[in-house]
């Protein structure tokens, strides 16, 4: 029987598709991508280690959760996250910018709805439920650096545009919406990324002082109006009971010594709340040792260093600002979580990026890393001049 020859249109599509993949592979920062994949692989093992503790705590008389319940759920979210990351990384820089701006605007609108129709969990309204559960602040992390970078880059085209005032106003609205939930941890994280981008824009130091003063006033107001936040700060400064989460996390972390007790051999993790999310770093310490924890810290530092080194030779202002914002959010969340587990920072309820179990948080973090890879795509055959703020004018 004769076989049908491929149609010219199909051949052309296949050839174009192969060319696009080849171009993507040449332009993408493969080192950062590999480091992200290594962290996700470590996360899969870590969630498998922490899953029995959380499954036991959340089991009821009517329903007993399997020991690997959260591990299998996490693998599904990781697969979805990988799809999101590879899709986002395939976008051109212009399309990544458009998508990030649209996503940020959508999530800001969703944050307006959260205090009105959001679902309350543990005294906080942070989720919207429309068939599925969505935490808008998590997906806002994917677009916030791009939105701010886009606004600040207007100044390169027209120095008369008050981009700093616009950014301060946007951050003020965002901070208000987050504290209405309340979500002080996310407010701190977005404020840190905002500060990094504003400093890179060349803002006058006096304005930075004004921002720092506003942040201090906000912290004082939070202390006297947000009971949960005040209790966490008091416990951190003055010490709490022997059964506080942070104290349990530190004792769990140190229980494994340098090399750990072995996979599924941890005992203190069974008393640790949120062993698969907020305190997964302590579970890693108990079962795989402090050396494994050091490897995780080095991997986070390696990603941040790689992003910085890639930006050294970047000539586009938007790329420098957007990538720096993503790096600030990623690194800030990672090290806040680690410091909480070490009892060096008040508990904030933040997951460990790419490692902790999560639904929307896992997908959102993978999407953020994909957009980071997209905005830093670079033709390796084009010679570039190093970026300089002097080239874009005075931002004072």
Distance CA 28, CA 59 (A): 44
Compute the Cα dihedral for 325, 326, 328, 333 and give only its sign: positive
**Residue-level pLDDT at 100:** 95
**Residue-level pLDDT at 290:** 93
Instruction: Tell me which of 278-292, 317-331, 332-346 is least confident.
Output: 332-346
State the pLDDT confidence band at 153, using cuts at 50, 70 and 90.
confident
User: Is the model's pLDDT at 296 over the cut of 60?
Assistant: yes
User: Is the model's pLDDT at 209 over the cut of 80?
Assistant: no
User: Is the model's pLDDT at 279 over the cut of 80?
Assistant: yes
State the pLDDT confidence band at 201, using cuts at 50, 70 and 90.
confident
**Edge-to-edge strands of the sheet including 119-121?**
119-121, 124-129, 133-134
**Residue-level pLDDT at 242:** 44
218-242 average pLDDT score: 63
pLDDT, greater one: 247 or 83? 83
262-291 average pLDDT score: 88
What percentage of the chain exceeds 70 in pLDDT?
82
Instruction: Tell me which of 227-241, 269-283, 289-303, 329-343 is least confident.
Output: 227-241
Distance CA 175, CA 240 (A): 29
Sorted by sequence, the CB contacts under 8 Å of residue 341 that are 6+ apart come out as 246, 249, 250, 253, 279, 281, 282, 285
User: Is the model's pLDDT at 208 over the cut of 70?
Assistant: no
**Residue-level pLDDT at 3:** 53
- Pair type for strands 119-121 and 124-129: antiparallel
**Residue-level pLDDT at 24:** 86
**Residue-level pLDDT at 6:** 54
Most confident of 88-97, 153-162, 174-183, 213-222: 88-97
- Whether residue 138 contacts residue 126, with contact meaning beta carbons closer than 8 Å, is answered with no
Tokens representing residue 335 in the block: 């090290």
CB neighbourhood size of 180 (10 A):
15
**Residue-level pLDDT at 389:** 47
User: Is the model's pLDDT at 394 over the cut of 60?
Assistant: no
User: Is the model's pLDDT at 154 over the cut of 80?
Assistant: yes
pLDDT, greater one: 84 or 257? 84
**Residue-level pLDDT at 243:** 47
- Whether residue 366 contacts residue 79, with contact meaning beta carbons closer than 8 Å, is answered with no
Distance CA 308, CA 320 (A): 9
**Residue-level pLDDT at 22:** 83
CB neighbourhood size of 206 (10 A):
8
Residue with tokens 């769990």: 252
Distance CA 73, CA 249 (A): 23
């Amino acid at each position: 029987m004769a076989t049908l020859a491929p149609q010219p249109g199909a051949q052309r599509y296949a050839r174009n598709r192969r060319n696009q993949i080849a171009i993507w592979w040449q332009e993408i920062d493969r080192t950062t991508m590999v480091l992200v994949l290594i962290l996700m692989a470590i996360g899969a093992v870590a969630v498998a280690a922490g899953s029995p503790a959380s499954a036991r705590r959340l089991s009821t008389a009517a329903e007993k959760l399997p020991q690997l319940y959260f591990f299998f759920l996490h693998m599904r979210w990781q697969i979805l996250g990988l799809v999101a990351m590879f899709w986002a990384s395939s976008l051109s820089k212009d399309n990544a910018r458009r998508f990030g701006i649209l996503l940020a605007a959508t999530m800001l609108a969703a944050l307006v709805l959260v205090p009105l129709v959001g679902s309350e969990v543990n005294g906080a309204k942070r989720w919207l439920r429309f068939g599925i559960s969505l935490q808008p602040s998590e997906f806002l992390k994917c677009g916030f650096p791009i939105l701010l970078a886009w606004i600040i880059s207007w100044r390169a085209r027209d120095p008369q545009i008050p981009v700093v005032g616009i950014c301060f106003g946007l951050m003020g609205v965002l901070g208000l919406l987050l504290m209405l939930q309340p979500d002080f941890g996310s407010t701190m994280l977005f404020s840190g990324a905002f500060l990094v981008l504003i400093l890179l824009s060349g803002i006058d130091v006096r304005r930075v002082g004004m921002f720092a003063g506003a942040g201090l006033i906000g912290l004082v107001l939070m202390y006297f109006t947000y009971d949960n936040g005040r209790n966490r700060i008091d416990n951190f400064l003055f010490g709490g009971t022997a059964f506080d989460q942070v104290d349990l996390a530190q004792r769990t972390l140190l229980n494994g010594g340098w090399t750990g007790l072995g996979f599924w051999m941890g005992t203190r993790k069974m008393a640790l709340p949120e062993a698969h999310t907020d305190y997964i770093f302590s579970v890693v310490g108990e079962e795989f040792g402090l050396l494994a924890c050091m490897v995780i810290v080095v991997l986070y530092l390696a990603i941040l260093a790689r992003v910085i080194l890639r930006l050294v030779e970047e000539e586009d202002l938007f790329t420098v600002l957007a990538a720096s914002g993503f790096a600030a959010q990623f690194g800030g969340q990672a090290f806040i979580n680690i410091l909480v587990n070490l009892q060096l920072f008040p508990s904030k309820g933040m997951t460990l990026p790419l490692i902790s179990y999560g639904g929307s948080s896992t997908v959102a973090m993978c999407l953020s890393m994909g957009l980071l890879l997209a905005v830093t795509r670079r033709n390796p055959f084009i010679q570039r001049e190093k970026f300089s703020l002097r080239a874009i004018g005075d931002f004072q």
